[in-house]
A and B are shown apart, each in its own frame.
Chain A
Amino acid sequence: MGWEEKQVRGYPEFVQTAQSYHGRPIFALFCGDKDAEGRSWCPDCVTAEPVVRKELPNMPDGSVFIYCLVGDRAYWKDPNNEFRKNLKLTGVPTLLKYGTPQKLVEEECFKPELVRMLFTED
């Protein structure tokens, strides 16, 4: 069956998408918004994205990968934004396995073996 990717932007769209895939393993990568040239305001997100994408084939069959743009820099810096409050995110990039305490934050996302561990362990 392989895996599929969904790209979303903002908290409500993320929640709706995650809920629609209830029952399947869901992995989500949260990054800062990208500009017209496709570059994120978050330099760490720029570094992490290719590392994460390279490991996607290691996700279990039937997984869903949600690529979520959180918003602009100002929105992210607000300590009360919905991602911080509801999903308890502390930084971008964050790669997590939805519904579990398993996540990788910031520089942890640069390490292929950690990303692979997140995708393959239970």
Chain B
Amino acid sequence: MPPPGQTQLPDWDGLKLRVRTLIASHRVMIFSKSYCPYCNKVKELFRSMRVEYYALELDVTADGPSIQQVLAELTNQRTVPNVFVNGTHIGGCDSTYQAYHDGVLQKLLGDSKDAEPYDYDLIIIGGGSGGLACSKEAAALGKKVMVLDYVVPTPLGTSWGLGGTCVNVGCIPKKLMHQAALLGQALQDSRKYGWQYEEQVKHNWEIMVEAIQNYIGSLNWGYRVSLREKSVTYLNSYGEFIEPHKIKATNRKGQVTYHTAETFVLATGERPRYPGIPGDKEYCITSDDLFSLPYCPGKTLVVGASYVALECAGFLAGLGLDVTVMVRSILLRGFDQEMAEKVGAHMETHGVKFIRKFVPVDQVEEGMPGRLKVTAKSTEGPEIFEGEYNTVLIAIGRDACTRNIGLETIGVKINEKNGKVPVNDEEQTNVPYVYAIGDILEGKLELTPVAIQAGRLLARRLYGGSSTKCDYINVPTTVFTPLEYGSCGFTEERAIEEYGKQNLEVYHSLFWPLEWTVPGRDNNTCYAKIICSKHDNNRVIGFHVLGPNAGEVTQGFAAAIKCGLTKELLDETIGIHPTCAEVFTTMDITKSSGQDISQRGC
């Protein structure tokens, strides 16, 4: 390499010849620089396609800069990577990926050697909210699709049918049991409204579970019919990658089949995490077991403070059971903490016991017949707690099902700590023909509607010529604890972090649902809060409501927030009377004013 600074006229004709020869003599020719991340991306693409390429690293080649000049003249492209396939100029990283997506790349590589047709256009591993939505959309666009769904039984042997967590052991049975508990409360209120009946009202767990499981069964069946009608192939088998573009499927009888596809979507979801203490798998249950438990759980210890823990503790208490929640530190991590504490306080007022700052250690072992003995240690000192319960429900978090599906064999990167899959804004993993949706995504919300939306839009982008990406901003959620909590947008903590306290105005109000007045239920408990950005027209960036039907209330406001709701627009909206939601149209008191928000009259 000529020493820097020394002028030496390049031999342009010689260089042009060299460049042309390189392009002509390699199936895939990549002009690259060793430190360039886009060059690496492109090389990864070809590696994942098992296509050999030749890369010339211009940063460590004699005449590197001159070659770059030649390429610029040849292709009008100054940058690297500069990619040629079978003599045809493709372009840089973006163009190469685009060509891959459009199938143009594959056509150019076309020399029959490696081009065996795949069995399917799309194979989806996981038949839950995301997987099913994606499969149906892809099939509707005319593609040949396969869905694999397999439930590894819980340590206690519980299993379930097609549909994923939401349908079988999540949202659906949860909301139904929550409703069962609410009805119990309504029965109590009913006497105040004049209903008279002699019998004491009791709850029968088995009748409730049978009815709920029957409904879930009809949903499982409905999905089977739906997939069949849309010609989506469904396998009740465990799928694992064994080589690029190929999976091995094992059904519960151990029979193995193999299948290939052009594109794959990972939608394997999560399962509850166990704490790893002696006795946890033998004696404890999780939400996977709770919704089909054939006997009433009785006196229950719920370990955890996630929404799963609090929702379950909430409805179990509402059904009349003796419930204790063991919390290591805070409630509802990730949610607005002021709201989280209010949720917890309401549960406590209504009989749920909380043991805070303790973790179960040592044995969960059999105590008296039908009872479990739990030993717990304080996180702050030497105190020990011991208790006996009929049931211990572990709800300390969920882990992604990405460890045992052969992702290593095809090079899909996962976050080693939590198993989650990092993807770009098109849900694509680091391996271009593998995508991921739903709860397993790194840094994305674990919600059914998010997975469904992502799955549908992904199918439309892959096969329908769409470019719409999934919008993860301002996704509304609701926690279905006995006092429901709905929210959309920023928590107060995050808003302060992002905008600075002085740039925010927080309006808040307590409210008393009209329906609660007659039976004399808690006043000054339901709470509404909006966070506004002062320098953006008092735009509503955070919405929080604690009260009955919080989900129904929040849904509409989420749409308003998407339209750019401001405090002024909210004030101009006339409320519906008498409702709980109308409180948002007349919020005057700010946190900064320090004024009292307790309610007195109408």
Contact = CB atoms under 8 A, between A and B. Distances in A.
Contacts of A113: 228
Interface string B220-252: 110011001100000000000000000000000
A31 interface: no
A117 B218 contact: no
Contacts of A114: 225, 228-229
Contacts of B503: none
B221 A102 contact: yes
A108 B225 contact: yes
B214 A117 contact: no
B449 to A, nearest CB: 24
A101 B215 CA distance: 8
B217 A117 contact: no
Interface in A35-49: none
A48 B221 CA distance: 20
Contacts of A104: 225
Given A117-B224, A121-B224, A100 B229 contact: no
A101 B218 contact: yes
Nearest to A117: B228
Contacts, number: 24
Interface in B115-140: none
Nearest to B231: A113
Interface in A77-122: 100-104, 108, 111, 113-114, 117, 121
Of the listed residues B220, B224, B228, the one surrounded by the most CB atoms of chain A closer than 10 A to its CB is B228
18 contacts: A100-B221, A101-B215, A101-B217, A101-B218, A101-B220, A101-B221, A102-B217, A102-B221, A104-B225, A108-B225, A108-B229, A111-B229, A113-B228, A114-B225, A114-B228, A114-B229, A117-B228, A121-B224
A104 B224 CA distance: 11
B228 A100 contact: no
Q: Which 4 pairs across A and B sit closest by C-beta, in order of nearness?
A: A101-B218, A101-B217, A102-B221, A101-B221
B598 to A, nearest CB: 49
Contacts of B220: 101
Contacts of B218: 101
Interface in B188-242: 214-215, 217-218, 220-221, 224-225, 228-229
Nearest to A107: B229
B78 to A, nearest CB: 57
Interface of A: 100-104, 108, 111, 113-114, 117, 121
Contacts of A121: 224
B144 to A, nearest CB: 16
Nearest to A116: B228
A102 B225 CA distance: 10
A90 to B, nearest CB: 12
Of the listed residues B215, B220, B221, B229, the one surrounded by the most CB atoms of chain A closer than 10 A to its CB is B221
A113 B214 CA distance: 24
Contacts of B217: 100-102
A114 B223 CA distance: 12
B480 to A, nearest CB: 24
Given A101-B217, A111-B228, 4 more contacts: A100-B217, A104-B225, A108-B229, A114-B228
B486 to A, nearest CB: 31
Contacts of B214: 101
A114 B230 CA distance: 11
Contacts of B225: 104, 108, 114, 117
A113 B274 CA distance: 42
B215 to A, nearest CB: 8
A18 to B, nearest CB: 17
A28 to B, nearest CB: 16
Contacts of B224: 117, 121
A117 B214 CA distance: 19
Nearest to B236: A121
Contacts of B215: 101
A84 to B, nearest CB: 16
A110 to B, nearest CB: 11
Of the listed residues A102, A111, A114, the one surrounded by the most CB atoms of chain B closer than 10 A to its CB is A102
A108 to B, nearest CB: 7
Nearest to B217: A101
A16 B163 CA distance: 35
B236 to A, nearest CB: 9
B253 to A, nearest CB: 12
A108 B226 CA distance: 10
B163 to A, nearest CB: 12
A107 to B, nearest CB: 10
Nearest to B218: A101
A45 B228 CA distance: 22
Contacts of A111: 228-229
